[in-house]
Structure 1
Amino acid sequence: MEYTVQKLASLAGVSARTLRYYDELGILKPARINSSGYRIYGQKEVDTLQQILFYRELGVSLDCIKDIITSPSFDPLTALKEHRERLLQKKSSWIY
Structure 2
Amino acid sequence: MMRKILILSAISLTLPFTLAGCLSGSDSSAPTAVVSKEAVANPLTINLAHVNDTHSNLDPSTVSMFIDGVPTNVELGGYSRLATAINQLTIGHLE
TM-score by length of 2: 0.25
More strand by share: 2
The structure where helix makes up a greater share of residues is 1
Rg larger in 1 or in 2? Answer: 2
State the structure with bigger RCO (CA 8 A, min sep 6), 1 or 2. 1
